[in-house]
Structure formats: C-alpha cells, structure tokens
C-alpha cells in the first residue's frame, strides 16, 4: 500500500502524540496524581497509528488496556482522555470508566474490556450490525498474546467465521501477558496460525514498522469490507514499560529491553522520513514541540476540571428503572 | 377472552415484535429450523428468515453477539437452551451488558443495551442437577441487570414485548413446566411493564409471595385453605429487579403475615431480598416472622422419586402458611 509523504508526516505526529501522552501519564502516575492503575503503550505506537490509518468513519474498533493511543486516533481528544485518567467529569466517560474503560462509541472508539476474552465475542455483535445494515463498515478488535488464550476468543473467531462477519481480530504479541512470556503461554510461534482452524486468513507482521502495519491491516480490512469475512492479523512488538506503571519487570532482562529499544518504532519511522527526504531533523523537532503543547494543554484541562458530583455516581445504571424498591 | 399457553404467548410476542421492528433478532442453539428445544420458537424461522437464526454451541459467543449488536441499537433476544448454562456465559451478565453503560457514562450513542436473554429453567422434568435449576438468585446482585420472572401467559407475553421495546438488559426466566399451561391473553397489542407485581388472588389473613411455577402451586394451596376459612393473598412479583415493593408492602400491611415461596434452594434465595425489604419497610405491621418455603439446599436429583421429594409442593406451602397463622 502506497503511503504518501504527507501521510508519513501525519503518522509521525500521531506516534509522537501517543508517546508523549503516555510519558505524561507515566510521570503523573509516578507523582501520585493519577488514581487507579494504568497500562502504557510506549513502544507500540506503530501498530496503533498504522491500524488507525486504515479505519474509516463508522467502523467499530475495540481496544485492549494498552491502547490510549488508538483511542486518541479514533477521536477521543487528548483533553477528554487525560481528564478521564484523572477521574474528572469532563472525561470521555464522565470519570466513570478511567484509563481502562475510556470510550467514545459514536466515533467507533468502543474502548477496552476489563475482562480478557469477551471483547472478542462482543466484536461480532458490532460486525453483525454492520453486516445487517449493509453500511460498508467493519468491526476490529485488538487484544494481546495473553488474552488470545482465553476460550471466548475461540468462540468469537468460530462464530465470526461461521457467520462470515466483517470482523478483524488483531493480536498484539508484545512479549508478555503481565509476567508470562508469550513463548510460555503458547507453543506456537505465530498466534495468527490459529486462524487456520476457523478457515480464515492469518498473517503475522512486524508491529514496530508502521508501513508493515498499514500493509497488513489494509489487506485484512479491505477483505472484511468487501464481504470476504473475518481474518486474523498479528503484530509482533514490545512494551517498553512494565505491564502497569510501577511494575519492576523482574521477568525480563535488560539486554532484551535494550534490543527492543533499538527497534523503537518512532526511530524506525524517522529513518524512513530521512531516507526519503520527507522532512529533516528540525522539522521533526517542530512536530514534537507541537505535540508537546497539546499534551501540556490536556494536563491543564484535566487539572482544572471538576470531579463528578456525588449524584453522578447513581446515574446511568439503567435507561429506565420501574421499581419501587430501594 | 381466548386462552393460549405460555409457549404460544412467548411465540406471539416474538413474532409481533419482529413484525414491528426489523432489528429484533431471535437466535441461539436450535431455535430456528428446530424451533427450540421446547418448541417455543416453532415456526418463527419460516416467517422471519432474516431475523431468526441458529448458532453453534457457543454460549459465550451467543452472548457476545448480543452485547455488541445491542450496543449498536439492535434488539437482541438470544435463548440459552437451559438457564443452567448461564455459568459458561456469566461474564456477559456480570461484567458486560450490566456495566457498559455505566462505565461509558451513558454516552448518547453506543450505550443502549437491549439484550433480552430467554432462560428456560426449573425442575420437574427428570433432567437432573444440570438442566433443572432456577438460578435467578445468582443474578440478583448485579446492578444494571433486570430480572423478569413471570408465571401466566398474559404476563409472559406482555413483559417480553415490554422488555424488547426497552433499552436495558433483561434476564427473562421461563419455567419449563409453565410452557404448556394456559391462560387468558388479550387479542390486541399490549405490554406489561417490569417492576409491577400482580395480586393473583386477594385475601386478608396471609400474604404469599411466590414466583413462576410456585404461583400456580400457591394458588392451589390457597384454594384448599379457603375451604377452612383461611383467606390467602397470592402475589406474583413478576420481576425481581425492578421489585415492586409497594404492592407487596400494601398487602403485608393488610395481612401482617408473610410466606415466601420459591422453587430454588432456600439458602441465599432471591426472595430473601423481598423478605428483608418487608422487614425494613413494614416491620411494625408484621404479626409473625416471615416464613420461607423453598427448595432444599442440595442439587436436584435425577430419579423421579427423589426429584418429587425435592420439589416444593402444595402441602409444603400449606404447612408454611399454617406456621405464620
């Protein structure tokens, strides 16, 4: 798939926005400003920006707990997302979801599912709706190597295949499910091989190469849009941070981390940009400075926003409740 | 008024709602070509081939499909062949359809959730411990999920239609032994809201609160006691969540005596909540401690002899009523 120079620059900006958002979240969490726990996608920006590249308006995209970046791409603004991380009423979910459940369904940003596995059957419901309404849209679910071993994923993939739904299963193998290496949680090298059991195509690609991601998702999304049914795309990548912020990562070596830092997806895109003479180093710095301003503004917005009032906690449980019980 | 069975009432409700709304889907294991394990959906596939379909044996898959499509605004009416199978699809009730709207902060698009999960349940069909349970108590402690538990054909029809027109997830319990029972059902289009209890028999000495098959058995017990001059009021809550405490408390204020009748095991029974709400709202009106008449705290046995012994019967209910008098 041909990616224009203009798009390459956009992707570069998007990947920096993701990284800076995550770095800021990391800093704020370390300072005790952000409540709860957060999982950051630093090192996985390429698969997020590359997947977003092929999403069209109206598509439904479910994410995992490490994809703030994809949510930003889908139109949750940095302000809304940061405010949600703070638990503020101006957050995307009025502070009731937090990092793990931030969503904006009208933009197709379905958010993450806190329970691993169900999202891969629920995505079929979105795919079913797109198919029955014949709207040309697709449903995409992103999940990790860890979640891929859940039984629900089997049921989801089988049903998607049997019903020929416009669904794409994106497995992100970032090396670990919390502390368990993906090499220990499955004996197969490429999790995309599982697609064969459902009679659907499976492909593994380099998740740190944004162009490879665009190529892989482009093909799978096109197939789904054209009625060709579901498929599996697996990206090999690595999270630079621990499972959650504060994870001391005793399960992996320094050498391993250093090896992956050399494969940093942003550095790789910079190499492409320089090789193709798209932009120079100064222009790169300008783009970074621009994104930093967005993140600073998001932090200010979140800090200045109010917390939800008490009654808010009792709202949104039902559309309509008919009882006289307490 | 014409009389039809509970199974016919459910079938009519589904057909009528599919006629009214192209985005009502009735599906599950063997519900389409086979017409459902209990024949409840018979003929619907022929009339609505685009809205009625079979799925593989995949309870989690069935519930996932319902969840996502419901979030997109569709009306999903899946059937789990036996309510006992909820265990393998529990997460969708516990963490998905009951929570998504709240966690999402009720965003205008994407937070509808009309999943009406049909759950055939109940003992008395020699189906042993895994195909006979009444599991409504398991779902009582899940904010965001509604529980319908009707007993008569008219209630089944009206409440099912109401649930399908709503935007909240509902666990809809259908007792297998009620499918063949008959009752009057209006010809015209009607709905019965959830959260409205129904006084099935008026009385002044004691209030019996019963669900599903136990409503019929309690009415039979009341009839027998009437011959002795004991006047029994029988209330069917019809939905456990929302719960119509007003109708229940009004009755308790009148009689001062309460018997709770449920087929499910006694310990942690769903009606325990009703009993406690009565004590919170009408303690001063009680003339005796409420009594429970429930199933035993053990699995349902296969042997017809043992199963009969396991089931709550009319005599148990009469004995319970005598205890509070």
> What does the pLDDT profile of chain A (326 residues) look like in tens digits?
789 999 999 999 999 999 999 999 999 999 999 999 999 999 999 999 999 999 999 999 999 999 999 999 999 999 999 999 999 999 999 999 999 999 999 999 999 989 999 999 999 999 999 999 999 999 999 999 999 999 999 999 999 999 999 999 999 999 999 999 999 999 999 999 999 999 999 999 999 999 999 999 999 999 999 999 999 999 999 999 999 999 999 999 999 999 999 999 999 999 999 999 999 999 999 999 999 999 999 999 999 999 999 888 888 888 888 888 86
Nearest CB among A103, A124, A322 relative to B104 is that of A103
> Mean pLDDT of all residues in chain B?
97
Determine whether the interchain pair B56/A319 forms a contact, defined as Cβ–Cβ distance below 8 Å: no
User: Mutate which of B91, B103, B277 to disrupt the A interface (most A C-beta within 10 Å)?
Assistant: B103
Whole-number pLDDT of residue B109? 65
Which chain A residues touch B28 with a CB distance below 8 Å?
A: none
ipTM: 0.96
Determine whether the interchain pair B60/A129 forms a contact, defined as Cβ–Cβ distance below 8 Å: no
Q: Decide if B32 contacts B53 (C-beta within 8 A).
A: yes
Rounded Cα gap, residues A191 and B283, in angstroms: 61
Which residues of B have a catalytic role annotated? 131
Instruction: Tell me the nearest-neighbour CA distance from B243 into chain A, angstroms.
Output: 5
Which chain B residues touch A321 with a CB distance below 8 Å?
A: 195, 242
Instruction: Tell me the nearest-neighbour CA distance from A301 into chain B, angstroms.
Output: 19
Token pair belonging to B221: 């017990």
Q: Decide if B154 contacts B12 (C-beta within 8 A).
A: no
Q: Decide if A139 contacts B65 (C-beta within 8 A).
A: no
Give the pLDDT means over successive 10-residue stretches in chain B (325 positions).
Answer: 97 98 98 97 98 98 97 97 97 96 79 94 96 98 97 98 97 98 97 98 98 98 98 98 97 98 98 97 97 98 96 98 97
| Tens digit of each residue's pLDDT (9 = 90 or more) over B150-193 | 999 999 999 999 999 999 999 999 999 999 999 999 999 999 99
Backbone dihedral angles phi then psi of residue A88, each to the nearest 5 degrees: -95, 160
Rounded Cα gap, residues A26 and A306, in angstroms: 22
Rounded Cα gap, residues B213 and B174, in angstroms: 10
Task: Give the rounded percent of residues in chain B with a pLDDT score beyond 90.
Answer: 97
Nearest CB among A122, A318, A325 relative to B168 is that of A318
Nearest CB among A111, A159, A326 relative to B56 is that of A159
* Secondary element (H or E) of residue B277: helix B271-282
Q: What contacts A81, CB < 8 A, 6 or more positions away?
A: A21, A68, A71, A72, A91, A92, A102, A298
Nearest CA among A124, A99, A125, A121 for reference residue A112:
A99
- For the beta carbon of residue A193, count every other beta carbon within 10 angstroms: 14
Nearest CB among A95, A114, A317 relative to B144 is that of A317
- Report the first-to-last Cα separation within chain B, whole angstroms: 37
Task: Give the rounded percent of residues in chain B with a pLDDT score beyond 70.
Answer: 99
Whole-number pLDDT of residue A311? 86
Nearest CB among B64, B71, B243 relative to A152 is that of B64
pTM score of the predicted model: 0.97
Backbone dihedral angles phi then psi of residue A215, each to the nearest 5 degrees: -60, -50
CB pairs under 8 A between A and B: 179
Which chain A residues touch B196 with a CB distance below 8 Å?
A: 322
Determine whether the interchain pair A316/B101 forms a contact, defined as Cβ–Cβ distance below 8 Å: yes
- For the beta carbon of residue A278, count every other beta carbon within 10 angstroms: 18
Whole-number pLDDT of residue A326? 64
Nearest CA among A266, A157, A164, A251 for reference residue A209:
A266
Instruction: Tell me the nearest-neighbour CA distance from A252 into chain B, angstroms.
Output: 32
Which chain A residues touch B92 with a CB distance below 8 Å?
A: 118
Cα-based angle A204, A210, A213 (whole degrees, multiple of 5):
30
Which chain A residues touch B243 with a CB distance below 8 Å?
A: 323-325
Instruction: Tell me the nearest-neighbour CA distance from A247 into chain B, angstroms.
Output: 26
Whole-number pLDDT of residue B220? 98
Instruction: Tell me the nearest-neighbour CA distance from B242 into chain A, angstroms.
Output: 4
Beta bridge partners of B236: B198
Task: Give the number of residues written for chain B.
Answer: 325
Rounded Cα gap, residues B93 and B83, in angstroms: 12
Residue with tokens 């795309």: A233
């Amino acid at each position: 798939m041909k990616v224009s120079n203009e798009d390459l620059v956009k992707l570069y900006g998007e990947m920096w926005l993701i990284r800076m958002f995550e770095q800021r979240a990391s800093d704020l969490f370390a300072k005790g400003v952000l409540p709860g726990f957060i999982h950051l996608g630093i090192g996985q920006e390429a698969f997020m920006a590359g997947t977003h590249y092929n999403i069209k308006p109206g598509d439904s995209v479910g994410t995992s707990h490490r994809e703030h970046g994809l949510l930003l791409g889908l139109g949750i603004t940095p302000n809304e997302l940061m405010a949600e991380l703070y638990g503020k009423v101006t957050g995307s979910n009025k502070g009731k979801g937090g990092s793990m459940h931030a969503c904006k369904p009208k933009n197709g940003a379905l958010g993450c599912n806190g329970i691993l596995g169900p999202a891969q059957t629920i995505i079929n419901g979105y795919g079913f709706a797109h198919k029955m309404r014949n709207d040309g849209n697709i449903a995409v679910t992103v999940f990790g190597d860890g979640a891929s071993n859940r039984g629900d994923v089997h049921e989801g993939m089988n049903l998607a295949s049997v019903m020929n739904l416009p669904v794409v299963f994106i497995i992100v193998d970032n090396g670990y499910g919390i502390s368990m290496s993906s090499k220990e949680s499955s004996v197969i090298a490429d999790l995309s091989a599982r697609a064969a059991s459902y009679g659907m195509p499976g492909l593994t690609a380099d998740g740190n190469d944004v162009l490879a991601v665009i190529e892989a998702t482009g093909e799978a999304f096109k197939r789904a849009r054209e009625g060709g049914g579901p498929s599996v795309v697996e990206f090999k990548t690595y999270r630079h941070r621990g499972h959650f912020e504060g994870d001391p990562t005793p399960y992996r070596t320094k050498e391993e981390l250093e090896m992956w830092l050399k494969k940093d997806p942003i550095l790789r895109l910079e190499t492409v940009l320089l090789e193709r003479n798209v932009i120079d180093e100064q222009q790169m710095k300008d783009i970074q400075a621009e994104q930093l301003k967005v993140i600073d503004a998001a932090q200010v917005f979140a800090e200045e926003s109010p917390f939800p009032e008490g009654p808010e906690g009792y709202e949104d449980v039902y559309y309509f409740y008919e009882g006289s019980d307490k | 008024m014409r009389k039809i069975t509970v199974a016919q009432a459910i079938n009519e409700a589904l057909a009528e709602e599919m006629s009214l709304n192209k985005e009502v889907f009735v599906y599950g294991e063997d519900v389409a070509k086979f017409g459902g394990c209990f024949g409840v959906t018979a003929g619907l596939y022929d009339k609505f081939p685009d809205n009625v379909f079979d799925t593989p044996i995949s309870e989690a898959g069935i519930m996932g499909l319902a969840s996502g499509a419901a979030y997109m605004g569709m009306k999903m009416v899946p059937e789990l062949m036996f309510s006992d199978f909820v265990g393998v699809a529990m997460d969708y009730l516990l963490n998905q359809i009951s929570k998504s709207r709240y966690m999402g902060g009720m965003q205008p698009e994407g937070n509808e959730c009309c999943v009406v999960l049909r759950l055939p349940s109940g003992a008395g069909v020699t189906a042993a411990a895994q195909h006979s349970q009444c599991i409504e108590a398991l779902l009582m402690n899940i904010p965001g999920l509604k529980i319908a538990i009707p007993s008569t054909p008219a209630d089944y029809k009206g409440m099912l239609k109401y649930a399908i027109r709503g935007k909240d997830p509902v666990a809809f319990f259908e007792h297998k032994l009620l499918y063949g029972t008959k009752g009057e059902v209006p010809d015209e289009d009607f709905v019965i809201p959830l959260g409205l209890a129904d006084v099935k028999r008026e009385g002044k000495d004691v209030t019996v609160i019963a669900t599903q098959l136990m409503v019929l058995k309690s009415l039979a017990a009341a009839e027998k006691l009437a011959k002795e001059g004991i006047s029994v009021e029988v209330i069917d809550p019809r939905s456990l969540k929302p719960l119509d405490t007003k109708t229940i408390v009004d009755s308790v204020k009148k009689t001062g005596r309460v018997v709770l009748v449920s087929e499910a095991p006694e310990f942690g029974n769903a009606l325990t909540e009703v009993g406690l709400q009565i004590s919170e709202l009408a303690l001063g009106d009680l003339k005796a401690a409420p009594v429970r008449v429930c199933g035993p705290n053990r699995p349902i046995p296969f042997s017809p002899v043992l199963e009969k012994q396991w089931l709550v019967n009319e005599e148990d209910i009469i004995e319970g009523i005598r205890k509070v008098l």
